[in-house]
Every structure is written in C-alpha cells, then in structure tokens.
C-alpha cells in the first residue's frame, strides 16, 4: 500500500493536487501505482534530479509518460523559489496545467514533502486561474496546512515576482 497522500482541490473545473515525492516513504512502485490509479492529466515535478535519485525515483518522468499522462520537470531547490530556467519554462507549463484543469483534468504537483514548493506552484496556478490570493491560500492551507513554507515562496505565488536578491 502506498504511503503517498494526494491532497486535492477543485480549481476551474478540474482537480489540482499536491503530494510528497513518490518513493519518499520507501515504496516507489506502490506510490507510482497510486498516482497512476488517480489518473492525472499532468504531473509536475518540482524536486531536483538528486532528490529523485535519493529515493530511487530517477525514472519518474518516463514512468509517468508511460502511464499516458504528461510530465514536466521544473526543479526548484528545497525551500527555494523559481530560478531563471524555471521562469522561462513556467508560462508554457502553467498554461498546460490551466488548460488541463479547464478541461476537467487532473494536475498533480509534487515536491519532496508536498508542502513548500508544491504549495507555491499550486497557489500560483490558483491565482493565475482568477482566484483571489488570500482566499486561495486559505483554501489550500485548509487542505495542506504546510503549503507554501517561506515568505519568498508566498510572494512569488501571489505576484509572480521574485523578491530582490532571489
């Protein structure tokens, strides 16, 4: 049985979810089966390749694609905010996610613990979908109290602007 928990919110007609990294609890295969059974349209991985390797999840992208879902790897360092490479990829990634949600699809975002980075990206999508930021954050934290862990993460999620120096 999978240790993975998928925390789901309704957003613009679809299901937006956050979770911890598959394999973090020690059973990558069970977690992958759990994700496949949830049938996401799109999976966004916010962990680094090193974090994936640490839990034996190096094949996650190929495994997700093999299941019929789309997969995007948008790594952010733990407790961090988007870097320049991420910011270049985000417009297309967010449009893909919002398009899936508008089509009643399921979008799963994961980071290592299913809190900071995944919460930040989920909140950014909620704001981009037209939700008011404070209400969106309250709704997200009702589901996952640890969502969005740092002030710089919160600022980027709400405004799309990185604090100076980040």
Domain with residue 104: its CATH number is 3.90.190.10
User: Side by side, which strands form the sheet with 7-11?
Assistant: 7-11, 14-19, 106-110, 42-45, 70-73
Q: Kindly report, residue by residue over 89-109, the tens digit of the pLDDT.
A: 999 999 999 999 999 999 999
pLDDT over 70 percentage in the chain = 98
CB of 137 closer than 8 Å to CB of 123: yes
Q: Estimate to the nearest angstrom the gap between the alpha carbon of 30 and the chain centroid.
A: 19
134 within domain boundaries: yes
Residue 3: predicted pLDDT: 84
* Mean pLDDT of all residues belonging to the chain: 96
139 within domain boundaries: yes
Write down the pTM of the prediction.
Answer: 0.96
Ranges of the chain with pLDDT below 70: 1-2, 165-166
2 within domain boundaries: no
127 within domain boundaries: yes
166 within domain boundaries: no
Residue 164: predicted pLDDT: 73
Residue 2: predicted pLDDT: 65
For 120, the domain range is: 7-159
Q: How many domains does the chain have?
A: 1
51 within domain boundaries: yes
164 within domain boundaries: no
165 within domain boundaries: no
């Amino acid at each position: 049985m999978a240790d993975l928990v998928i925390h789901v919110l309704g957003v613009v007609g679809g299901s937006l979810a956050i979770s911890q990294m598959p394999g973090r609890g020690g059973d990558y295969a069970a977690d992958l089966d759990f994700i496949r059974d949830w049938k996401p349209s799109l999976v966004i991985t916010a962990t680094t390749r090193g974090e994936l390797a640490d839990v034996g999840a190096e094949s996650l992208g190929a495994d997700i694609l093999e299941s019929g879902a789309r997969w995007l790897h948008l790594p952010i360092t733990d407790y961090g905010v988007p870097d320049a490479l991420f910011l270049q990829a985000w417009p297309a990634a967010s449009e893909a996610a919002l398009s899936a949600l508008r089509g009643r699809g399921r979008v799963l975002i994961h980071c290592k613990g299913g809190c900071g980075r995944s919460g930040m990206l989920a909140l950014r999508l909620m704001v981009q979908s037209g939700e008011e930021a404070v209400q969106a954050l309250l709704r997200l934290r009702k589901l996952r109290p640890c969502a969005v862990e740092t002030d710089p993460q919160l600022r980027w999620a709400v405004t799309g602007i990185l604090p100076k120096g980040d």
